Amino acid sequence: MNRRDLLLGAAAAAAGLAFGAPASANVAAPFDWSLWPPMTGRDAFVAWMREKRGEDAGFLGQRWDRYLQLIAHNDVWDETDKRAFLMTPREEFVTADNLSRVYEWHHLNIGFGVTITGPHTVARMTNTLAVKHGDKVLEIGTGSGYQSAYLSYLTDRLWSIEIIPALAQRTRALYDTLIARGYGEYRAIQTKNADGYYGWSEAAPFDKIIVTCGIDHIPPPLLQQLVPGGIMVIPVGPPGAQHVIKAVKTQGPDGAFSVTRSDIYGGAIIPFVPFTGGHQS
């Protein structure tokens, strides 16, 4: 174990929140855009991922089983998004006491009063963004790190903001540990501790923005940082009763901007942890 891993493990253990699966062998096949796991059957997928990525067969089997449920519930439909789900080791982003539940439907506690969103919601929100390789994507609410890790299999231009300082530090350390183990794709994720309500103006504009916490309106600074034709996916509504909205920003012939909204769950309520920050005062 190197010094970085030792320090990360000690800090997490002190908080009672040791993260992820036990450290595995280094990744044998670094990710590139031509790398595709078999997507025709469980056994072939597990064997390929064991050989190429050095991941645990038990978690891989659970990942495949959840993948089939995502398809059955129409939560993932694009081939590149299917690959993104299958390539992302969700077990690395949950607390140790939740490893036995990592591929369950529901969100899980990660400490600091926040959660890792359930795989079905992550998949549907991400696929709705329609991320293409080369898109600039901003995530509001780094949280566990799972969402941006998932996005790194869709584009290599990622920015993520977390408002809780200790959580931002912990997740950045987790990314760095995974990079050292061979997940080089996570180098694409730029992170900072800040109030996500105001976006990341220095890196703007963005092609896509995903918000992973609930708020009662769409923050104007985020709309301003979205390109014309860009897509934002955001939970909007009162605490615990949000609707997940796809907002598409368009620019008319006169130069005026407008936003078209649609509910990606057809009106169903999907609760999220609250969006916090200085805007509330």
Domains along the chain with CATH numbers: 18-280 (3.40.50.150)
How many C-beta atoms lie closer than 10 Å to residue 279's C-beta?
15
Question: For 83-103, what is each residue's pLDDT tens digit?
Answer: 999 999 999 999 999 999 999
- Tokens, residue 155: 């584009």
Q: Is the pLDDT of residue 234 over 70?
A: yes
- pLDDT band (50, 70, 90) for residue 1: very low
Tell me how far CA of residue 43 lies from CA of 38, 72, 147, 196, in angstroms. Answer: 9, 19, 26, 41
Question: For 139-158, what is each residue's pLDDT tens digit?
Answer: 999 999 999 999 999 999 99
Rg (CA), the chain: 18
- Residue 42 main-chain phi, psi, to 5 deg: -60, -50
* Complete DSSP assignment for 193-226: ES-GGG--TTT--EEEEEE-SBBSS--HHHHHTE
DSSP 8-state assignment for residue 182: T
Residue 205 near residue 225, CB atoms below 8 Å: yes
Residue 102 near residue 59, CB atoms below 8 Å: yes
Its pTM stands at: 0.91
